[in-house]
């Protein structure tokens, strides 16, 4: 008993020391916070008072805050009061007052790039390619996109006048429109495609996205589809809870979909399905690419982990971070990464390690040695730290340099405008094809146009000349160099014919949008869409479908080579906001 009392006293003494140490550490943290805030405020004060020129104090503070957050990750950001409305439009809501048209600036002039079906611009016959000279008597010459967008937006029911110049019309003319509530849908297209398959294109996970997918699915089910294709390609994400609701459409009640874990335990949550699914049995394919991020990866990853869907396309972006917004004084806010999310197998697909940066501040990928294997519901192997790898991988083909040049120089866009002026209507969009005569007309149209571009072969040849000149050897190879250069130029002249099929594809897409709007773009492209064709083929092949879901298919064969894939582009900085 004496020994017990002795150790009890020692334990109590140790506890007091630990408590005191904890209090001391807490006090030290508070001191460091107070100290650094005082330093920041003092620097700001002295600069504001003593700097040689007048300064913009709001801009100065924002620059300082942005620099402070830059060292964390690209998703943690400060939003000042002046940018709140744009933030809500991009990350929260899809509604605003306007005319339903998008614009772009070109050589200091403003042009309409797209009009949206059913909204004031389309109803008033405003067309892509129209130059907008004035808005409500305000001259647009030299104004940028943001300035013009601000002039176009306004309250629902407010009148707006556009002064327009159209190429085939002798004199500029005025269009009087009435602004309407413009709601850009999360589901930009849904309908039946080849093989009696239902298709849903989901562009973002903002408010009501789950309701829109539900409505699309209900409508498609009336056609008794043989399968469903959910297209999440280039979907940068959005609200986490919307992703969970969408998964619930295909997965039984009370199934864990995703969990988020961070430093603060009160912000750790597990999200499960809460209702009976709308469609638990139909074959399901999810399309992804390197720009499918965050909430898109939650949907694709959870459906893959639960063996409910086949994933087709390219490896997804690899964003496994969750953000939450916090209100700040004066109607500003800060969006902070508060957690990482984990799909049902337990894997986190976050690829870039922002915590352990290099000395130069650059971010590294999660090391291959730290990649772990996880198992799906049926025992298939999946891996963390590297995005969602598709069950059926399809290489993404890049357009040829000539095609990229024609798009970048807006010659595809301009020819579509010209085509629309000459043709009052075209065939039904699903049967529309650009004829050889039309293509030859396009080639003639390009005869006096500048669309210079450099091929990969030309770049290599130029590099050869540069290196040979440095080493004083170019004179010795100049004759061979000139011969090669001439041959490459001759070959380049044939690019319009060599790459005719893909140029026609882009042309058809742009022309179709002039008659059938965004819906036309999708339907014109269906016949060229390799991922879509593979989705239809896979769901029609019941044996292959079953084989993949059992771990006997393409995914198992590909396995860990996914870790060697590189060259992924940055996705939009969308977030999985916890709201």
Query: What is the pLDDT, as a whole number, of residue 6?
Result: 46
Name 235's Cβ contacts closer than 8 Å, sequence gap at least 6.
Answer: 202, 203, 204, 205, 291, 292, 293, 295, 296
Element (H, E) at 303: helix 295-305
Q: Is there a contact between 456 and 401 (Cβ–Cβ < 8 Å)?
A: yes
Give the strand pairing for 227-231 and 284-288: parallel
Q: Is there a contact between 416 and 336 (Cβ–Cβ < 8 Å)?
A: no
Give the strand pairing for 269-272 and 284-288: unpaired
- Looking at 126-264, which runs of residues are DSSP E strands? 131-135, 138-139, 159-165, 173-178, 180-183, 187-193, 197-202, 227-231, 256-261
- Looking at 43-144, which runs of residues are DSSP E strands? 77-79, 95-98, 101-106, 109-115, 131-135, 138-139
Reading the block at residue 304, the tokens are 């893959």
Query: What is the pLDDT, as a whole number, of residue 25?
Result: 54
pTM of the model: 0.84
Q: Which residues of 517-531 are buried (b: 16+ CB within 10 A; e: fewer)?
A: bbbbbbbbebeebeb
Beta-bridge mates of residue 323: 337, 577
Residues in the chain with pLDDT values less than 50 = 1-10, 12-14, 16, 19, 554-579
Name 148's Cβ contacts closer than 8 Å, sequence gap at least 6.
Answer: 103, 105, 110, 132, 135, 140
Which among 226, 235, 234, 145 has a CA at the least distance from the CA of 193?
Answer: 226
Q: Is there a contact between 75 and 321 (Cβ–Cβ < 8 Å)?
A: yes
Query: What is the pLDDT, as a whole number, of residue 121?
Result: 96
**pLDDT digit string, tens, across residues 288-330:** 999 999 999 999 999 999 999 999 999 999 999 999 999 998 8
Beta-bridge mates of residue 228: 198, 284
Termini Cα distance of the chain: 56
Query: What is the pLDDT, as a whole number, of residue 89?
Result: 67
Q: Is there a contact between 412 and 406 (Cβ–Cβ < 8 Å)?
A: yes
**pLDDT digit string, tens, across residues 439-476:** 999 999 999 998 888 877 878 888 888 888 888 888 88
Query: What is the pLDDT, as a whole number, of residue 327?
Result: 92
């Amino acid at each position: 008993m004496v020994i017990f009392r002795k150790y009890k006293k020692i334990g109590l003494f140790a506890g007091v020391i630990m408590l005191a140490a904890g209090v001391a550490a807490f006090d030290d943290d508070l001191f460091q916070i107070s100290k650094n805030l005082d330093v920041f405020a003092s620097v700001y004060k002295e600069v504001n008072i003593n700097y040689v020129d007048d300064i913009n104090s709001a801009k100065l503070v924002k620059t300082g805050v942005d620099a402070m957050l830059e060292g964390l990750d690209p998703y943690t950001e400060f939003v000042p009061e002046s940018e709140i409305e744009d933030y809500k439009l991009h990350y929260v809501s899809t509604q605003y007052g306007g005319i339903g048209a998008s614009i772009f600036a070109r050589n200091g002039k403003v042009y309409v790039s797209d009009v949206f079906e059913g909204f004031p611009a389309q109803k008033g016959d405003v067309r892509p390619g129209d130059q907008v000279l004035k808005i409500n008597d305000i001259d647009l010459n030299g104004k940028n996109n943001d300035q013009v967008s601000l002039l176009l937006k306004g309250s629902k029911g407010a009148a707006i006048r556009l002064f327009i110049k159209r190429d085939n019309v002798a004199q500029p003319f005025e269009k009087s429109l009435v602004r309407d509530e413009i709601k850009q849908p999360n589901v930009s297209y849904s309908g039946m495609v080849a093989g009696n398959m239902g298709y849903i294109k989901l562009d973002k996970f903002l408010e009501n996205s789950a309701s829109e997918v539900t409505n699309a699915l209900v409508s498609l089910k009336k056609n008794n589809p043989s399968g469903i294709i959910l297209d999440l390609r280039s979907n940068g994400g959005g609200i986490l809870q919307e992703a969970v609701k969408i998964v619930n459409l295909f997965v039984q009640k009370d199934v864990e979909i995703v969990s988020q874990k961070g430093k603060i335990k009160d912000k750790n949550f597990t999200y499960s399905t809460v209702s009976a699914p709308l469609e638990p049995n139909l074959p399901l394919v999810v399309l992804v690419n390197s720009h499918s991020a965050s909430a898109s990866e939650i949907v694709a990853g959870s459906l893959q982990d639960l063996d409910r869907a086949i994933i087709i396309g390219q490896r997804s972006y690899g964003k496994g971070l969750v953000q939450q917004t916090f209100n700040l004084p004066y109607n500003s806010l800060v969006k902070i990464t508060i957690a990482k999310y984990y799909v049902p197998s337990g894997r986190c697909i976050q690829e870039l390690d922002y915590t352990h940066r290099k000395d130069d501040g650059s971010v590294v990928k999660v090391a291959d040695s730290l990649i772990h294997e996880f198992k799906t519901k049926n025992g298939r192997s999946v891996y963390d730290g590297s995005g969602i790898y598709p069950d059926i991988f399809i290489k993404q083909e890049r357009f040829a340099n000539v095609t990229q040049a024609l798009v970048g120089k807006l010659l595809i866009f301009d020819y579509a405008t010209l085509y629309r002026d000459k043709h009052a209507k075209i065939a039904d969009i699903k049967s529309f094809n650009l004829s050889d005569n039309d293509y030859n007309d396009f080639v003639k149209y390009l005869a006096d146009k500048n669309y210079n571009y450099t091929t990969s072969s030309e770049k290599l040849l130029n590099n050869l000349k540069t290196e040979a000149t440095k080493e004083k050897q170019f004179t010795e190879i100049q004759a061979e160099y000139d011969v090669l250069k001439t041959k490459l130029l001759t070959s380049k002249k044939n690019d319009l014919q060599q790459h005719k099929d893909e140029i026609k594809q882009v042309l058809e897409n742009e022309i179709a949008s002039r008659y059938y709007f965004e819906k036309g773009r999708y339907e014109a492209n269906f016949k060229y869409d390799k991922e879509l064709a593979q989705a239809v083929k896979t769901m029609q092949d019941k044996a292959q479908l079953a084989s993949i879901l059992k771990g006997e298919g393409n995914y198992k064969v590909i396995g860990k080579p996914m870790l060697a894939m590189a060259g992924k582009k940055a996705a939009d900085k969308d977030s999985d906001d916890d709201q």
